[in-house]
Structure 1
Amino acid sequence: MTVYVDDMRMHARVGRLTARWSHLMADTDQELHAFAAQLGLQRSWAQYPGTWKSHYDVTDAKRRRAIQMGARPIEYGSQKSIAMLQRKRELQHQPHGGLR
């Protein structure tokens, strides 16, 4: 199992924070939430939990820290990124219930 962080770096304002944002993703939600907790992210910040789109939005500073902690950097929209999402989508549609 692997945790990934893309290089989207979209400029946006979230609440009072203006930053560049990317996506922290993993093969399973269990691994994603565990890594996110170690990174200092709150579980309530998870986007689309339990689905193939499950991720956390992270700022550049958190992205750099995630890479230091072992997350694999991937290009937003790359073949590797698309393949990971397809694997997750296929897992979600298996009889055992998917990504948890």
Structure 2
Amino acid sequence: MTCYVDTVRSYPNAGLRFTDYCHLLADTRDELHAMAGAVGMPRWTFQDHPWRWHYDLPAHLRDSAVAHGAQVVTMHEVGALLRRRKGELPIA
């Protein structure tokens, strides 16, 4: 399973249950959903988008994702992953 987590960031004014999050991403949606399930993220929190699909992972679950095999990546690497996904979309 190839999944990724980036740096935790604080969103104190977002009105969310937690204030600190990172992104949980993967090479495939199946891998992403499997990892999210393994760390206890409910499926309804999945953020679907043609190429930016991900979960906003609360900071307290990040270590669990890494323990389950998620690779720690930089925001630069996240950008490269998203550009690759966008480039793989069929031209409309």
**Structure 2 length-normalised TM:** 0.84
What 5-or-longer segments of structure 1 have no aligned partner?
96-100
The alignment's C-alpha RMSD in Å is 1.9
Q: How far apart are residue 34 of structure 1 and its match? A: 1.2
Task: Please give the alpha-carbon distance, in whole angstroms, between the structure 2 residues aligned to 1:68 and 1:30.
Answer: 19
Task: Please give the alpha-carbon distance, in whole angstroms, between the structure 1 residues aligned to 2:30 and 2:38.
Answer: 13
Q: Is the partner of 2:21 in helix, strand or coil?
A: strand
Name the structure where strand makes up a greater proportion of residues. Answer: 1
Task: Please give the alpha-carbon distance, in whole angstroms, between the structure 1 residues aligned to 2:47 and 2:69.
Answer: 21
Deviation beyond 6 Å, 4+ runs, structure 1: none
Offset from partner CA, 1:36-92 (integer Å, 9 cap, x none): 11111111100125x21000001111111111111011122x1x2221111111222
Q: How far apart are residue 94 of structure 1 and its match? A: 6.6
Q: How far apart are residue 10 of structure 1 and its match? A: 2.4
Q: How far apart are residue 7 of structure 1 and its match? A: 0.3
| Residue 74, structure 1, aligned to residue 50, structure 2 | no
**Structure 1 length-normalised TM:** 0.78
- Give me the identity figure in percent: 33
Give the aligned partner of residue 10 of structure 1.
10
What 5-or-longer segments of structure 2 have no aligned partner?
none
Give the aligned partner of residue 40 of structure 1.
40
| Residue 83, structure 1, aligned to residue 63, structure 2 | no
CA contact (8 A) 1:8 1:75 kept: no
